Structure 1
Amino acid sequence: MRRTDEAPTGTGDDLGLGSAESRSAALPAGLTALVVDDDPDFAGLLRRLLEGQGIEVHVAESVADAEALSAAYIFDIALIDYRLGPADQPARTGLHVATAVRRTSPNALVIVLTGYSDRVVAREAIRVRVDDVISKAGLTVTEFTRTLAESLERKRQRDTQLGPAYLESVVNQSLANVAHELRSPLVSIMRQTEALISGALGSLSGDQHTGAASISDEARRGLNLINAHLDLNRIEHRITRLEPAEHDVAAILADEVESYTARAAAKGVSINRSTPSVPTVARVDLPKLRSALNPIMDNALKYCRERGRIDVAVRVQDEHVVIEVHDDGPGMRADDVDRVLRPDTWGGTAPSPRARGTGLGLTIARRFSELHGGHLEIGSPRDGGTTVRLWLRQYPPTEGTDDVG
């Protein structure tokens, strides 16, 4: 739909009719661009211009379509028409799209194209951190490509001055925003498949039940991955706040072991817990301590031999409360230990597809222990298996105590 309130198309070198391929200036190739305009002719011209420069282009003609694309892709460039949709619906403008792009592609170059007064739109654009506002009136291909190239260069220089730490924070924030967007549909998938499995929506055949269970498991795994990433992102950016209180660590561990009893029994694994003879009180944030214990117990059960054994103990040593979890699995090499304590790395191959983890669990456990003033150790004794020790500061400290539970 071409609107009478926007710039009329011209002739020759005017952006409305000029040849994009023959007139375009040099732009960096290999970028990904979002073009949002409900005029298919104008959007098509921008697509041809950018694709002719080796830029991948995605086109949307509405706010809803643009928001969906912004949630699915990380964009380097966003060219957004200010007025989208019928004139009698002014509330939904290109600035809504700019906000969505900033949420998922915070390092993108965002430019708003308008046929209205630059000053009017610019005042609104400042609020959503739009990089530039370009008037369509009399705009030529040459002027447009030159402006776009200059804007990209300014952005590159700014990013260089800010340094790699800033860029890393931008990428992490972008991933965190995408993760938040994915949580709701995954929760919905889990609820619907659980309703199918329970028979609430009708009976299922054996194969259908197996398929629904597989979908539910994969949705749960995806949600766990997202939650793990968000936890790690909060820790890395120091936005996790501890709310510590005095807790009996031995009692917490007993509850944790109890929650794994059924799963261990299904695998034929016995969990043996030792009870200490001295107080094991520490000042900890209880939810975060449980978040640290979960991946430790998950890994012990995952890698333990069929009909194997897991030994869990608590002791007090060097003014610390030490939680120790040992499994009789295949053990780990020294380089594997270093790998599993870094994000997104594997120490080895999981025993089955159902036992896959997120690759972030032990990293999160280590960071949580460090937030509590402790640390995490992983070792493999010569007789096999793997031992994980989580050290927490004892409260109050007991001098000279070295008691094994």
Structure 2
Amino acid sequence: MCLTLVSSRVFEELRRRGSGSRHAGGGGEGERSPRRECAMTIGATMKRMIRPTAAAGVTRDPVLFRWTGEFADAALEEKFLRANLNDLRARVRATLYGCYVFVIWGAFDLVTHGPTQLFFLVMTGRLAALLLLVAALKLFRKPGQLNGLFLALTLSQFLVATIAPFSLWWDSTDYSTGIMSIVVVLFAFYVGVPTKLSRNLAASLVLTSGAILVAPALGNYDPATLLQNVLLLIAANAIGVQIVRASNRLRREAYLTMHQQDELNEQLTHEIDVRREAEQAMRASEESFESLFFNAPQPLALVDPRSLEVIQANSAAQVLVGYERDGDGDSKLNVSSFFPNGDVVPSLRMVAESGGRGAGKEVELIRLDGTRIWVAVSVAPVGFKGRRSVLVGLQDVTEKRHQLDTLRQARDMANEASRSKSEFLANMSHELRTPLNAIIGFSEALQNELFGPVGSPRYREYAEDIHDSGVHLLTLINDILDLSKIEAGHFKLHEDEADLNPIVSSALRLVRHRAEKADITLNCVLPDPPLTVVVDERALKQVLINLIANAVKFSHAGSSVTVSAGLRSDSLRISVADRGIGMEADDIPRALAPFSQLDGTLSRSHEGTGLGLPLAKHLTELHGGTLSIESAPDVGTTVHVDLPIECVAHRLDRDTA
């Protein structure tokens, strides 16, 4: 039907144009030749044939499809062919059956012409075409052998295209009948052989050209019939190309649709699996939450932030608020009834709205029996069974608050006792200074015999002992008074520039008499050129006196005490080193505590109140420095006073002075 329609349309066009030419008049340059007229007719007809097909939706996509209807992407085309390998092989088998008919048709040649050499040559071509198809099916079975399969199909097509025209007219078959047979072969090529459209078209052109070229050799043919047959062959090729293009495109679009559907199914399956896993995880999480919630030792409750009703509460929370489950069922509890001051309700609603957290707020809670306790409330937003809830954690801090109150009262009492002690020591020191000054003054008068001889030399010795004891006692009182001021925060430094060397020399001079009595040698190693420091001169001298006196007191007879000073990268270090009894590293903190000595027995061998090192440490820290001790038993002790480098005003350079 398609061929008849095409032929009738072509000849109608020819008749229409021929009549038009006759009516227009003949001759001249405007007269068209029959060949040109034929070409124009064929072109117009083919345009009208192809345009409706394009309008029907078989236009090639410039991005996705080639003009042949195949995928433009080679990798995608390869995937399509691999996916349709079984269909491809089934179409090859159908082509093989057609080739069987093509080979069997050679029997008519044998009957007509006998076993001539030409017959065997043609029969060899028929068998070669058949063997190529058999080889395509048997040898190229795997997806990676598609190129070999298509090559075998193409070679078989070219053999058929070469032999078919010759065999049709070899036995003097009518030319028009042969043309119709060739048209059938052409459609068999396009529809049946599953090779590339370009290869199908090449084989069809070979067959068409052979049919056209063999016509003059037959001798008896009508030009009009020849033209009709030529147009018929061209139309057959055009229709075959459009059929293959449409088929290729439709099959590939179906493949894309199936592929997209498979991807969608996989995605849906994946999403279903993910959702199933999420639901399972959510159920497991809820079960874990409920297990932890009900078995937690800390009181926990789930609260509706809108109504403030308790959704669930674990046993610890029920015990805390004094709730007992009755036989009629659970009675609804409201959070606001436990916190009458309204401290918790705003926090619950704010946490539910903002998604934040609240922790550690201590409020008063009224239990169901009316007793009041203190609890620390922590809140956090949670989702429970699809609705927004607030998890409330409670911790009974009543005992802790009682302990804190007790500790606070004890601290206040200790501070008051410390202030009383400091005031007592200050007052006592002030009251003792007046008689001590009188005792020291009178003993000096007796010692120097200002008002005449005292008689016996023993009185002079007694006066000297009285003077030394008074000075020692006054020194102790001054230390106690200074330490009390420091602890009370009333000790003020009066810093000014002073030379370091005179301060050290003055401290050594005040302790030298005691050192000579103990047979201790005092050494001094000071920086050269001297340093000018910004310190409270009296306080720094007091530090050095205490450290040197302490070193002399704990040194063996015949040993030495060395005072040294020097600059470091970030400090000024003053060190007092002795070779005395020393002490363990664990005893150093005790030695720095006020009123403490390592030998705390009544029969201790070294006098003193234990204020020397603590007072020196406090005075050093008031300057922004540190006091450290290095000591070892029977080796000696070295005390380092490190003052900030900012305390050094400048160096006195002799060369530039």
5+ long unaligned stretches in structure 2: 1-408, 650-657
Is 1:284 the equivalent of 2:535? yes
Paired position in structure 2 for 1:364? 615
Q: C-alpha displacement at 1:185, in angstroms? A: 0.7
TM-score by length of 2: 0.34
Q: C-alpha displacement at 1:262, in angstroms? A: 4.6
Change (3 A) 1:279 1:174: same
Is 1:205 the equivalent of 2:456? yes
Q: State the Cα deviation string for residues 328-364 of structure 1 (Å, max 9, x = none).
A: 11112234322221111113389x9996333212111
For 1:376 and 1:365, the matched residues in 2 are separated by: 8
Q: C-alpha displacement at 1:296, in angstroms? A: 0.6
For 1:287 and 1:345, the matched residues in 2 are separated by: 24
Paired position in structure 1 for 2:636? 385
Number of aligned residues: 240
Which amino acid is the alignment partner of residue 173 of structure 1?
E
Paired position in structure 2 for 1:164? 414
For 1:241 and 1:253, the matched residues in 2 are separated by: 22
Paired position in structure 1 for 2:133? none
Change (3 A) 1:239 1:308: same
Q: C-alpha displacement at 1:321, in angstroms? A: 0.5
Mapped contact 1:280–1:316 kept (Cα < 8 A): no
For 2:455 and 2:554, the matched residues in 1 are separated by: 33
Mapped contact 2:561–2:576 kept (Cα < 8 A): yes
Change (3 A) 1:317 1:179: same
Mapped contact 1:283–1:393 kept (Cα < 8 A): no
Mapped contact 2:548–2:561 kept (Cα < 8 A): no
Paired position in structure 2 for 1:272? 523
Structure 1 stretch 329-338 or stretch 186-195: which is displaced more?
Answer: 329-338
Q: C-alpha displacement at 1:386, in angstroms? A: 1.1
Structure 1 stretch 279-288 or stretch 319-328: which is displaced more?
Answer: 279-288
Paired position in structure 2 for 1:242? 493
For 2:647 and 2:412, the matched residues in 1 are separated by: 44
Q: C-alpha displacement at 1:388, in angstroms? A: 1.0
Higher percent of residues as helix: 2
Q: C-alpha displacement at 1:369, in angstroms? A: 0.2
For 1:162 and 1:383, the matched residues in 2 are separated by: 44
Percent identity (aligned): 32
Mapped contact 1:248–1:279 kept (Cα < 8 A): yes
For 1:396 and 1:224, the matched residues in 2 are separated by: 27
Alignment root-mean-square deviation, CA: 3.1
Paired position in structure 1 for 2:437? 187
Name the SS of the counterpart of 2:646 in structure 1.
coil
Q: C-alpha displacement at 1:313, in angstroms? A: 0.9
Is 1:329 the equivalent of 2:580? yes
Q: C-alpha displacement at 1:263, in angstroms? A: 4.2
Mapped contact 2:520–2:561 kept (Cα < 8 A): yes
5+ long unaligned stretches in structure 1: 1-158, 399-405
Mapped contact 1:336–1:348 kept (Cα < 8 A): no
Within the candidate set 566, 590, 593, 1:315 is matched to 566
For 1:397 and 1:222, the matched residues in 2 are separated by: 34
Which amino acid is the alignment partner of residue 394 of structure 1?
I
TM-score by length of 1: 0.53
Change (3 A) 1:278 1:200: closer
For 2:619 and 2:493, the matched residues in 1 are separated by: 10
Change (3 A) 1:248 1:394: farther
Is 1:215 the equivalent of 2:466? yes
Change (3 A) 1:260 1:223: closer
Mapped contact 2:583–2:633 kept (Cα < 8 A): no
Q: C-alpha displacement at 1:181, in angstroms? A: 1.0
Q: State the Cα deviation string for residues 14-60 of structure 1 (Å, max 9, x = none).
A: xxxxxxxxxxxxxxxxxxxxxxxxxxxxxxxxxxxxxxxxxxxxxxx
Matched ranges for 1:72-91 at <5 A: none
Is 1:306 the equivalent of 2:567? no
For 1:389 and 1:342, the matched residues in 2 are separated by: 17
For 2:412 and 2:605, the matched residues in 1 are separated by: 43
Paired position in structure 2 for 1:229? 480
Within the candidate set 427, 430, 434, 1:177 is matched to 427
For 1:174 and 1:366, the matched residues in 2 are separated by: 23
Q: C-alpha displacement at 1:259, in angstroms? A: 4.2
For 2:424 and 2:511, the matched residues in 1 are separated by: 35
For 2:511 and 2:420, the matched residues in 1 are separated by: 38
Mapped contact 1:332–1:379 kept (Cα < 8 A): no
Which structure has more relative contact order (CA 8 Å, sep 6+)? It is 1
